[in-house]
Amino acid sequence: MDPLVGKYIGTGLVMLSTIGAGIAIGKIGSSALDGISRNPDTYGNLMTTMILAIAFAESLAIYSLVVAFLILFG
């Protein structure tokens, strides 16, 4: 078998970790929406906090993306 196959399968497996980030971002978004709909005055405050939390959750997916890039092009 071509050794390149292993490289591509590995890249695909690494990107599985985006599932967790997807769940996290969905939860953050839904909770922020809950908060905003309960108290619309907090919109500005919540928005900043939400973007911050999403950036944290997303950075975990970005780690796996960097590893995938290293496997593919490194």
Q: Which residues bind other proteins (CB under 8 A)?
A: 44-45, 48, 51-52, 55-56, 58-59, 62-63, 65-66, 69-70, 73-74
> Least separation, in Å, of the C-beta of 17 and other proteins?
13
Name which of 30 and 45 has its Cβ closer to other proteins: 45
Name which of 1 and 16 has its Cβ closer to other proteins: 16
| CA 19, chain centre distance (Å) | 8
Where does residue 21 rank: exposed (0-12), middle (13-18), buried (19+ CB within 10 A)? buried
Beta carbons of 36 and 42 less than 8 angstroms apart: yes
